[in-house]
A and B are shown apart, each in its own frame.
Chain A
Amino acid sequence: MIFLYTALRAEALPFIRNLNLKMEEGPFPVYRNQDTILTVTGTGPLSAAAAVSSVLNIHSPGEEDFLMNIGIAAGISNASLHTVYRIHKVTDLSSGKDYYPDLLITPSTPEASLITGAKRYAGEPTDPVFRTVSDSKLPVLSDEAILYDMEGSGIAMAAPHFLAPHQIRILKAVSDEGNPITKEDVSALSELLYQAYLEELPCMKAQCVKEEVPAVFCDSLAEDLHASLTMRRSLSQLLYYCELAGIDSHSVIDSYYQRGLLPVNDRQKGKILLEEIRHELLR
């Protein structure tokens, strides 16, 4: 499942349209299809965090799933207007805490750091965000692209409770440098973000791969051995290892049934037989 988060419905429109997402009832506006759930979080980091928790709590993401926060941001320094950036570091302005999504497989999209605050960015030189960066109160490099938004840290703070760092991606398009923007600007940038999402998608799918593991069923054998909980765990681990190592445990165990050695009458005999089976399988 792909979990998408945008702050504004306007940012979500290209995704809703192109992915044919249908609205669902819930505490937050949610649009979904078979493999994508898009949530409109509203503005502010707290709202974003609440939206992430609300949706991921219900859907319990696994190894193959990932989350993308997609939206517009202001450029504070070294950031090009109307450019999409992948975010490698998010700083929450109020707490000073940093978050680091893992950017593993990377297309050509440039990278940037993101600062998140609860208020709109008003631009240099008076905005406290600008002064925080220019006065080197945050650790930044002189040539680093730095953006500002109002949701990123909420996403970055909540998502790690459900997902690994490589399953979290933040894409931001630079809309302004503190000046007001129009609805048309938002619409154009949202289309740009949709294209960036399409480019990002195969990278995310390639790095979010579920590891296949064998299933082991040993309840019946455990009963026939009168296994205690400890014995059952040992048996389960033994049979699981045999599956991984390509050892044919079924034939060996079948031979014990065929020779009338299984089932046993009591736990003591079961313990001895389990040790014998172990030795037979692992020699």
Chain B
Amino acid sequence: MSCSAEKFRHLYIESSILDHPETKRIRSLFPNAVCIPVERYTDVFSRPHQSYRAQYASMNLILAEKHGTAVYPGAPVCHDFGSERFFYTAMAVNCLYDCSYCWLKGMYNTANLVIFINLEKAFEETEKLLEEGPLYLSLSFESDLVPLETLTHQIQRWNEFVKRHPGLSTEIRTKCGADSIYASLDPDPGMIFAFTLSPQSVINALEKGTASLHERLKAAGTAMEQGFPIRLCFDPMIRIPNWKEEYAGMVLEVSKQLDLSRVKDISIGTYRQSDTYQRRMRKRFPASAVIQYPYETKNGYCQYPEAEKNEMEQFLKQELIPFAGEEKIFLLEDNS
């Protein structure tokens, strides 16, 4: 899945940034797209009753200027990897991929993609936060930035920013198998590439458009050889039939392609979703088994029952320990 010249038939562009150099650059990548000026991106992005299903096959691109806050405190259901100050930024919203379980489907009712072109705003806010001490910043919270890089150049710019700010640790999480990007960047301990990994059967069923497990591992290996810290994220684990065999098989595949003793760390998590988003997703995707699974609701979040959740997470942890060592593996409870 990539951003070819025919990917977007329509570009909705906020009128205030029509003449911005970044807008012109992005427009030139899609010469056949119809450009439609808009007052605010939300006029298109937040229309009521949109259909993700109908839109995904004909996704449109929205270019906008970020106003208000660009850097937010991290969510409690996300791993903070031991950092006391966990934040995220979302200068791209929505994703080229179509993962059935993705929380973005509960947060937004559209498949259209938004790129905020004023990345300097996120830089300014990050610098202000760094005045108070080091922090961990997730860059790809609401999108997968790697397949969008030819469009946005955001990873390149963050790479340059990270090099100038030693107290900053950033994470770019991806399901992309493209590995040429890593040679074009300057490795830095503050730029962690995190690869979401699932058994191939889960990828086939639930992670449409993403790279295969093999391709992701190859990309992770390339990034590792380039000198980037690598994180592996087995998250979310999905309780599919024969899940033990599937996840055990996946760990063997991973261990064959990667030296797990060299990864920075590993996170494990099972499916979890805010109750509000879960209800929206159930309404929007009535035929999706993973969304319609009868999760339990605990403290406002839908998840597997505690016993099942622990069984899955502990199983995978035990499978990984011989290859990675226990100290590198983070479960969500480790956040507290």
Interface residues of A (CB under 8 A from B): 88-89, 98, 100, 102-106, 111, 113, 139-141, 144, 160, 163-166, 207-208, 211-213, 234, 237-238, 240-241, 244-245, 278, 282
**Within the assembled complex, what's the spacing in Å between the Cα atoms of A103 and B9?**
9
**Within the assembled complex, what's the spacing in Å between the Cα atoms of A111 and B32?**
13
List of A residues within 8 angstroms of B50 by Cβ: 102, 164-166
Evaluate contact between A98 and B34: CB separation under 8 angstroms: no
Q: Which residue of B lies closest to A238 (CB)?
A: B294
Stretch touching chain A among B51-59, B81-89, B164-172: B51-59
B102 contacts the other chain (CB 8 A): no
List of B residues within 8 angstroms of A238 by Cβ: 294
**Within the assembled complex, what's the spacing in Å between the Cα atoms of A271 and B47?**
42
Q: Which residue of B lies closest to A214 (CB)?
A: B287
List of A residues within 8 angstroms of B36 by Cβ: 88-89, 100, 113
Q: Given A164-B50, A166-B54, A207-B54, is A139 in contact with B286 using a C-beta cutoff of 8 Å? A: no
Evaluate contact between A102 and B292: CB separation under 8 angstroms: no
List of A residues within 8 angstroms of B48 by Cβ: 160
Stretch touching chain A among B38-46, B117-125, B132-140, B184-192: B38-46
Evaluate contact between B55 and A104: CB separation under 8 angstroms: yes
List of B residues within 8 angstroms of A98 by Cβ: 38-39, 43
List of A residues within 8 angstroms of B15 by Cβ: 139
B289 contacts the other chain (CB 8 A): yes
List of A residues within 8 angstroms of B286 by Cβ: 211, 213
Query: In the complex, which of the residues A166, A241, A282 contacts B55, with contact meaning CB atoms closer than 8 Å?
Result: A166
List of B residues within 8 angstroms of A163 by Cβ: 49
- Nearest CB of chain B from residue A92's CB, rounded to whole Å: 13
Q: B8-44: contact bitstring with A at CB < 8 Å (1 yes, 0 no)?
A: 0110100100100000000000000011111100011
- Nearest CB of chain A from residue B230's CB, rounded to whole Å: 34
- Nearest CB of chain B from residue A229's CB, rounded to whole Å: 15
Evaluate contact between A139 and B39: CB separation under 8 angstroms: yes
Evaluate contact between A104 and B287: CB separation under 8 angstroms: no
Interface footprint category on B = 20 to 34
Query: In the complex, which of the residues A104, A144, A237 contacts B292, with contact meaning CB atoms closer than 8 Å?
Result: A237
- Nearest CB of chain B from residue A1's CB, rounded to whole Å: 17
Q: Given A98-B39, A111-B34, A141-B18, is A240 in contact with B292 using a C-beta cutoff of 8 Å? A: yes
List of B residues within 8 angstroms of A113 by Cβ: 36
Evaluate contact between B289 and A166: CB separation under 8 angstroms: no
**Within the assembled complex, what's the spacing in Å between the Cα atoms of A256 and B206?**
33
List of A residues within 8 angstroms of B288 by Cβ: 244
**Within the assembled complex, what's the spacing in Å between the Cα atoms of A240 and B53?**
21
List of B residues within 8 angstroms of A244 by Cβ: 287-289, 292
Query: In the complex, which of the residues A89, A160, A164, A241 contacts B51, with contact meaning CB atoms closer than 8 Å?
Result: A164
List of A residues within 8 angstroms of B66 by Cβ: none
Q: A207-B54, A237-B292 are in contact. List 20 more A-B contacts (CB 8 A).
A: A88-B34, A89-B38, A98-B38, A98-B43, A100-B38, A100-B43, A100-B47, A102-B54, A103-B10, A144-B35, A160-B49, A164-B49, A165-B49, A165-B51, A166-B51, A212-B287, A213-B287, A234-B294, A241-B289, A244-B287
Q: Which residue of A lies closest to B49 (CB)?
A: A164
**Within the assembled complex, what's the spacing in Å between the Cα atoms of A81 and B276?**
50
Evaluate contact between A165 and B47: CB separation under 8 angstroms: yes
B293 contacts the other chain (CB 8 A): yes
**Within the assembled complex, what's the spacing in Å between the Cα atoms of A237 and B292?**
7
List of A residues within 8 angstroms of B47 by Cβ: 100, 160, 165
List of A residues within 8 angstroms of B309 by Cβ: none
- Nearest CB of chain A from residue B79's CB, rounded to whole Å: 26
**Within the assembled complex, what's the spacing in Å between the Cα atoms of A234 and B9?**
43
- Nearest CB of chain A from residue B24's CB, rounded to whole Å: 12
Evaluate contact between A211 and B287: CB separation under 8 angstroms: yes
- Nearest CB of chain B from residue A112's CB, rounded to whole Å: 10
List of B residues within 8 angstroms of A241 by Cβ: 289, 292-294
> B265-304: which have CB < 8 Å to A?
286-289, 292-294
List of A residues within 8 angstroms of B43 by Cβ: 98, 100
**Within the assembled complex, what's the spacing in Å between the Cα atoms of A103 and B54?**
10
B239 contacts the other chain (CB 8 A): yes
List of B residues within 8 angstroms of A164 by Cβ: 49-51, 54
Q: Which 7 A-B pairs have the closest CB atoms?
A: A139-B15, A139-B37, A104-B58, A244-B289, A164-B49, A166-B54, A238-B294
**Within the assembled complex, what's the spacing in Å between the Cα atoms of A102 and B52?**
12
**Within the assembled complex, what's the spacing in Å between the Cα atoms of A188 and B303?**
61
List of B residues within 8 angstroms of A140 by Cβ: 37
List of A residues within 8 angstroms of B287 by Cβ: 211-213, 244
Q: Which residue of B lies closest to A211 (CB)?
A: B287
List of A residues within 8 angstroms of B51 by Cβ: 164-166
